[in-house]
Structure formats: C-alpha cells, structure tokens
Structure 1
C-alpha cells in the first residue's frame, strides 16, 4: 500500500514506493489534529459524500504524518515496513523505514539550517535526478520550513538563471551534471549564497552534501508551520508565456493531494493519467492491450486535481470526468455567469465566499497576475471547456489556443485527436494562422510516421484534410498544413502551441 499523500507530494516515479496503510495514516497527525477521514472510496458519489477534510491551524507533513508513523510502529512493535523503496536501472536499491527516513531527513535539515544558515521561509532550488537524496531534501525542507523549488535536469543555463533570479533562492542543490550551468549564471544571481553538490567528488565554491550529511547530528526540532504557510514553489510549464512561480502551502499540498490516492500496487488494476488530454485512439489502444480503462484527470500546477474520472465512474472517452470533491467547478462566461450544459466557456472554480484550501496561495511576488485569475466569485483556469447534461467536463483548449475562424470557435485538441487517428501521423499541433477572408484558419503542424515520410506531401495533406472532415465537423479541418520533424515542447514535454502560433502571425 502506498501512502498517497507522500506519493504525490514527493512526485514518486514508478521505481519508488512509499509504503504505509493509507486509511489509518490519513487520520493521524499531531495529537488533536485529525487531518483527513478515510478515503477508501468505491465510487464518485461516495467520494462527494465522504470527503470532509479537516484542515488544522498548524500542519507539517514531516512531523504530523511521517514522524507519527514512526511512533505508531514503535508502539505497536510491528515489523518495520519500508517508507521509501528505491531501485535504479542497475539493480541497486535503498530501503528506508519510517524511522530511518526520519533520522536521515533530520540530518539533512541540520545541513540546511547549520551549514547553510537557512531559515524558515528561505527558498531552496533542488535539481537532481530521482535519487534517494531527492526525497531527503524534500522532507528536510518541510522540517526547516524552507520553501522547496524543484526543477528537472533538462533545465538549460537560461532556465536556471530565470528561476534563480525570479525566486531569489539562497541555496541550490544539484549534482555534477548541472553544476557547470549553475556556475555559468551564478555571478548574475545576488541572492544565491550557498551551493550544495550531491557528489562523491569536490568542486570549488561548492559545499559537499554527502560529507556534510555524514557529520550532521540526527536530532532536529521540526519548525511549527501553519497550514497556509508556503511549502513549495513550482514553476509552471510555460506553454503560454514565461513560467510563473506557483506557491503551494503545507495544507494545499500536504493535505490537498490526499484525494488523488489509486494505493494498492499488488497488480495493475487502475490506470490514471494527467498532464495533457489523451487522444481517444491512445485510450482505445491501451484498453485493447491491458483490458483496463485510463481514468483521465485534469488539473494545473495551481490547483492539484480539478476534475477526474474517479473509481466506479462510467468513463466517457475524451472527457475529463467530474469535479474533484474539493472543488465546485463551473463553466462561466466573460461576465462570470454560469453557463448551461452544452455551452462552451471558461473552466472556473468557485473561490467566494470560501476559497478551497487545496488551491495555490498565489503567484509568488506577482500580485497582479494572482488577481487576474479571479473573475467575480471564481478562479479562472485559463482553459476552455464544456459540461454535458450528465455533469461530465470536456476540455476544448487553452483560452489562448482556441481558434476563431469565420465566426466558428475551434479547439485545437479535437483536430489534433482526429489527425492522430490517421496512421500517417506521429504527432500533431494545431494553431491559428492568419487569413485575409476568415480572419484566421486552422493550421496543423504534423510529424509523420516513418512509413509516410516519403509520400507525396500534397496528396498526403489532402488525405489528412479529408480524414479530419469525416471525423469532426467539416469546418474544423486544417486549411493549412506543414510537415515537420519535431514540435517545440516545454521541458515537461507539453507542446508549445504559442511558439507555433507566433511563428504564423509574424508573417502578417
């Protein structure tokens, strides 16, 4: 069994299991602070009825869940289950009990507070592969109250510079592969005071993380954090502009993510997906090969899960499912009016009179952008969608990506899905392109499969256009098409439609 809150909070990849009985763990925290009721839900209606999270004034996941589990194991005198089980591609593995995870994370907490002099509220950028130290730093930051800013190793020097300057981080923790990029931009970052290197070797100007860890004491008093205190800052994927700093609190992530938990891993029984909508053909292929449906979920860096196809729900292929029990989700117009089923509008979450605790706190250091997300009584996601008569939500596209051609509004995802169904198409991205008559038209950028690369481009384009006309409404077909070798993507793998759209409109 996987402790869902830890599993999602610490972004566990498939090679790692964080183990503990879910239902009991979510009912404990520090004495007198029940965190969440049992979430062994059987169906969507049960989820809506039973989801009643209690958000205490003070909450810290490291103290109130991880440490509490150590105490419970000791009191019960039962065998120690692994809290973290890590295995790499070479067969090397690490197993830590809750007690061991606690001891090691306290030592790392002392490295941060003593060797680096970091205090509660200071910001730390962490760029590591998914090695055990990655999780230790996560938990240590909770213990010290420092704000974690995770980053992928795919970040370029320019990306790192942007994150260091925007966040004003005092410390960065990384390894030998990323250290040169940090050094190249470090002089431009006045706030950066400490650089920790996770390596067996040494590097001038860097503190050696592993050596400091060996010498650090194992006793550390966890700071007292309120549930609304900042815990982590995530930079958005930047599909429509520069990445924004999205702040989450100890409550919004430490408690808010519990609703995401599918926790038995004895065999593959339940499949979920998120990030970008899955094309229906991919879902069909998965079902054919595994016998299992993919339960799609929809959310943002800012929100955690907004809608999902929860266990026991009937799945409508292509739908995002129904609202998470933590949110009241509506489709609204530009005047904040709630639209009826079947009408396209902005996907929004009600935040007044009560703001959901699992929603992000703010865009860090950017009150104007934070305020711009509020329209009337709603937080506006920036995505367009439709709700059907059964209460299921359907994704149309980012508001900036929707194409208005001769009065018709066309979402790129539907056209992309149609194109993907054709055997010639490996990937596709659809954007608006200027047109003197219609204002703008649909243009598709297509990556071909190997079997079709040598085909006649004009004939293939006509074939794909006819295919889209048959699969979707005829007016939605791409009047322009360009065959490319690859599509521009963010570091998280999302297609940068904005870049393609700007390329088209620069021609005007």
Structure 2
C-alpha cells in the first residue's frame, strides 16, 4: 500500500503519531511510484513530538500485544562471538533507565548538552533514546577524536557531561581541567571505580524505568552534530525533535525502502550523522531491525561473510567499502536474504555500480544528503538508473540548481545544489549553525539553502554531481576540513606552511593530500622519513582518519593578492593530473 499522507497523520494530537508505526507495518517497500509520491508527499509536524515516546514506545506497545512481526529492534554482534537482541520494549526500558541517570546522578537538565563517544555498543543506542526522552541535547563524537578535538567540542558546545569508554577516558582526562563546563564524566564498559568518573553499569543497575517523557516541542533542539569546516574549526549543526525524529520518514521510505520486516546493516561510525540516519532514526521509524557488527576496523571479507550468513535484507555502505568488497570476487558469495543496497557519503563511480550488480545480482542505489539534512536526492527502484547521476530529488524536498544569489539556473547549467526553504522550511533541514550567524546567512540565498555542492540538472530532473563548492574532502565516508589538518601539521617544527586538498585515489575515490613548505632546518631532511613522521604526527594531534595519505614538499603555495592560499588551484592540479578508475 502507498504510504499514508503525513498531513493527515501528524495533527495537533500526539496520539495521531500512531499511524506512522502502523503504516510501516504493512508498507511494501518496493511498490511506490516516484512521480506520484513526489507530487503528493507532504510532511508537517504536530506541536509536540518526541521520538522516544511517539516512535519507540509506540512500537513497544505494538509488541506487547503481539503485533510486532517477530524481528528485534536491535541485533548486535561483536568480533568475539557475543550476541545481543533487544526488542522495542527493551529499548524503551533501557532508555528509561538511562534517562533517569542523566537527570539524576549526571545532574543534567533539559537543553543541557551531553557528548557521547562510544563505538558500536548497545549502550550508544540506549543513551541516544534516553537523551531524547529526557530532553537532553546529545552530540555524538567518534572514538577517534584526540584530546585537542575533545577539548574544542566540549568548550564550543558548553557540554556538561561526557560519556565514553576506557579507550577514550585518558584523552578526556588530559583536557578535562581546561573544560570549565564539564561537570560529569561517565565511563561505559569498565569494571570498578575510575577516579573522577561515574560508572555507567553501576548507575543503570541502581536506576528505575519510572520516568515521564518530556513533552518536547517539535521545534525544540534535540541533537548537535559537529561538521567539518573549510577555513576554521568544526561548526555545530543543530537539529530539532522534528527535523530528525520525523524528517527521517523520508530517509526510511525513499532511500532505505524499509518496512517492519526489514533487517538493516549500516556500516557508519557512531560519531557521524549517517549513523543517526541509518542506524537509529530511519530504521526505527519504520520498525525495522538495526543490525550492528562491533568490530575494530572494516574487513571486506568478513563483511561479505556476514551478509551471506545472516538474514540481512538491507545494506547501507560508503562507496569506499564497496571498492574493497568488489575486489574480493563477489561471485563466490551468495546473499539469499539481501534485497536493497544503498551507498552514500561520496560520489559513486559508474564502473563500481556495474561491478557490484554483476557480482551480487543487486542494484546499488545512491543517496545524497548532509549533516544539515535528511535524505535529499537519490536513485530509486521506480526510476531509470543513470550511472554517474545522483538520481532525483526525494519527495519532501524541492531541489534546484541555483546561482550564488539563489536564482534558479537553466537545465544543464552548472551551479549550486539548492534546497527550497521559503516559504516553508523543510522538516528535515537543520535549524542553524550554533554561534555562527554569519555562516548561516552565507548559505541562505533567495528562497534556497545552498548545500555547498556543485551540480547540473538535466531536463528530466536527474542531478549530476560536479564537486564541492568549498574545500571539504570526502574520503572513505568521512568529511574532512583542510583547516584541521593544516593546523595539526603546523605544530610540527618541520612545517613552515601547508595547504591541504583532495587528491584522486583509485581505491578511496579521493584522499587527503598536503603541500608542505619546510622550515630552513629541515630543507635537507630525508623526505621519505619526514613524510612518515608528519603523517604519524597528524594522527597523534588530530583524529587518525584525517592524516594526509599524500605529502608533496614545495617551495611556495599559490595565493591571492591578500595572501590567502588558493586551494582550488592545487585541487584542480591534482584532479587534472590523474583520474581515478
């Protein structure tokens, strides 16, 4: 059946949220028509909305009366053979325990910020739902963050609490004294007492699930993501209870094609918005199972074995992971349950799409969005697949190619990908960049929000990605701002000046490359040894995934008359020199 009209579902009465869950319980994920949905889909919000109460607890209520379909909400396994399954009733229960911990021992109040840095462990999901239930604003961070990154995020956000594990606790302690807002530290998964820290397991054992969910306004802030900056430190992107809690209805239906019977495996790290997209909000809106494999690093062979040996129906992966997997002779694996495969995070190479389909017998559908949005544009089973294109705008979004002032350009002309935000602000679009009104105004032009990406649109509405309008580097599913890498490099005594840009790579699509001017004392140093030293230095100073895989030593850097480095000139040089296969 076609998805029920959201205008009818989401009115002033919170109880009207119930049809969201009931409609996904019967929704046939491969039976929707693009033209019909694009024309008729509308997404509006009730005055009050809370994902914990209006989605999680509704699914838990459905399970209680035997109408759940049998699949768990969370199916977690790790590399040691341990397995855990939570029903929606258990997710609801665990989140209530943790919500009481946040409001009690952690001394948090609604709108306070908690930073959560955890790997793919069940507690991450419980804490996320708990924060929503308590009205506490959660800001996720990858466990790869270094002390300097942690200090910046705590101080920029004013976070009062930080939750992490033993692997990151020492890094937190290293900078905690320089974080005046940080009042409480909670450690997960460690036995015994750690000085200055509360123990998560001990707190939840003593807690109860007797709590009243906050009656949050749809417009109240819910989540803060840090996004990579091009000329400064990472910026804070704010989402409300509606923009993610309801906005990911678009992601669930049109990108992931989920139903209550789906089992979805998404490879994204918990520190990134894409994990919130496809490992929390979208699948649980649909009542689907979130499959999680907690492993220290990506292994293409193990990933293929997992897909082949488990009843996973939906798979979401960055293109870099696909590039590794297609090198492992996909024909040797059978995927009897796999139904829908999607990729996002960076452009997908047409040849890679072909190899994936030939090896698995399944299409790989591309999705486009940002930390600032839900799913915005993609390819779908119901439209013609045009390799090299990002597909068409998602229902719920009005996407056009516009100039720098927000004027719609003729079809076929390159410009900015713009999302119409006037007269109606789309539900899935973020609220603001916190404490950065100048940047917020810079992305609002005319009636459009400018995504920072360049593209063209053909006469049939297909979008063709051309590249970033700024200097953000998209590699292996990560978004890396050059300023952060340049700031790390300049701390090394060998570096006088540097410029960081993207560079083509046959396996990863693009990687970080640094052009470095050496100080006088290092002009005659062994460049091979110095390259390795600078790479290791960057890994220590900032998150390891940001290190430059390529370093070129130069005598000068191209600059404007005012002295600003022209990264665009270096980037163009790189991409003309070599084209990735």
Q: TM-score, normalised by structure 1?
A: 0.75
Matched-pair contact (CA < 8 Å) for 1:43–1:311: no
Residue number in structure 2 paired with 1:200: 191
- Structure with bigger helix share is 2
Residue number in structure 1 paired with 2:352: 282
Matched-pair contact (CA < 8 Å) for 1:126–1:173: yes
- Secondary structure of 1:161's match? helix
Alignment of 1:15-54 (within 5 A): 30-33=14-17, 36=20, 40=29, 41-54=31-44
Residue number in structure 1 paired with 2:308: none
**Greater CA drift, 266-275 or 122-131:** 266-275
Q: TM-score, normalised by structure 2?
A: 0.66
Residue number in structure 2 paired with 1:258: 249
Residue number in structure 2 paired with 1:381: 451
Q: Residues of 1 paired with 2:358 and 2:419: CA distance?
A: 35
Q: Residues of 2 paired with 1:87 and 1:432: CA distance?
A: 38
- Secondary structure of 1:66's match? helix
Matched-pair contact (CA < 8 Å) for 1:239–1:495: no
- Secondary structure of 2:464's match? strand
2:407 maps to 1:337: yes
> Per-residue displacement from partner, 1:208-267 (whole Å, max 9, x unpaired)?
111010001121100011111111111113466421111111111011112122323442
2:200 maps to 1:209: yes
2:466 maps to 1:392: no
Q: Residues of 2 paired with 1:501 and 1:66: CA distance?
A: 54
Residue number in structure 2 paired with 1:361: 431
2:385 maps to 1:315: yes
Residue number in structure 1 paired with 2:47: 57
2:172 maps to 1:182: yes
Q: Residues of 2 paired with 1:222 and 1:499: CA distance?
A: 52
**Alpha-carbon spacing, 1:290–1:75, altered in 2? closer, same or farther (3 Å):** closer
Q: Residues of 1 paired with 2:40 and 2:434: CA distance?
A: 33
Q: Residue 268 of structure 1: CA displacement?
A: 1.7
- Secondary structure of 1:179's match? helix
**Alpha-carbon spacing, 1:495–1:179, altered in 2? closer, same or farther (3 Å):** closer
Q: Residue 324 of structure 1: CA displacement?
A: 1.3
Unmatched 5+ stretches in structure 1: 1-20, 403-414, 434-483
2:219 maps to 1:228: yes
2:116 maps to 1:112: no
Q: How many residue pairs get matched?
A: 420
Q: Residues of 2 paired with 1:90 and 1:98: CA distance?
A: 25
> Per-residue displacement from partner, 1:311-370 (whole Å, max 9, x unpaired)?
222111111111111211111112322111111111111111111121001111222221
Matched-pair contact (CA < 8 Å) for 1:401–1:431: no
CA RMSD after TM alignment? 3.5
- Secondary structure of 2:196's match? coil
- Secondary structure of 2:411's match? coil
Larger relative contact order (CA 8 Å, sep ≥ 6): 2
Matched-pair contact (CA < 8 Å) for 1:279–1:318: yes
**Alpha-carbon spacing, 1:498–1:80, altered in 2? closer, same or farther (3 Å):** same
Q: Residues of 2 paired with 1:82 and 1:127: CA distance?
A: 25
2:215 maps to 1:162: no
Matched-pair contact (CA < 8 Å) for 2:44–2:427: no
Matched-pair contact (CA < 8 Å) for 1:297–1:308: yes
Q: Residues of 1 paired with 2:354 and 2:169: CA distance?
A: 43
Q: Residues of 2 paired with 1:192 and 1:124: CA distance?
A: 9
Matched-pair contact (CA < 8 Å) for 1:401–1:498: no
Q: Residue 294 of structure 1: CA displacement?
A: 1.7
> Per-residue displacement from partner, 1:388-425 (whole Å, max 9, x unpaired)?
122111111111359xxxxxxxxxxxx977x73xxxx7
Matched-pair contact (CA < 8 Å) for 1:276–1:494: no
Q: What is the aligned counterpart of 2:375 among 275, 280, 305?
A: 305
**Greater CA drift, 113-122 or 98-107:** 98-107
Unmatched 5+ stretches in structure 2: 263-311, 314-336, 473-501, 516-533, 560-564, 567-581
**Alpha-carbon spacing, 1:492–1:353, altered in 2? closer, same or farther (3 Å):** farther
**Alpha-carbon spacing, 1:428–1:152, altered in 2? closer, same or farther (3 Å):** closer
- Secondary structure of 2:116's match? strand
Matched-pair contact (CA < 8 Å) for 2:59–2:68: no
> Per-residue displacement from partner, 1:110-144 (whole Å, max 9, x unpaired)?
00001111111000000011111111100100110
Q: Residue 501 of structure 1: CA displacement?
A: 13
Residue number in structure 2 paired with 1:144: 134
Matched-pair contact (CA < 8 Å) for 2:379–2:391: yes
- Secondary structure of 2:375's match? strand
Q: Residue 66 of structure 1: CA displacement?
A: 1.0
Q: Residue 374 of structure 1: CA displacement?
A: 0.6
**Alpha-carbon spacing, 1:230–1:501, altered in 2? closer, same or farther (3 Å):** farther
Q: Residue 282 of structure 1: CA displacement?
A: 2.2
Q: Residues of 2 paired with 1:501 and 1:226: CA distance?
A: 54
Q: Residues of 1 paired with 2:362 and 2:448: CA distance?
A: 36
- Secondary structure of 2:73's match? strand
**Alpha-carbon spacing, 1:497–1:485, altered in 2? closer, same or farther (3 Å):** closer
2:558 maps to 1:505: yes
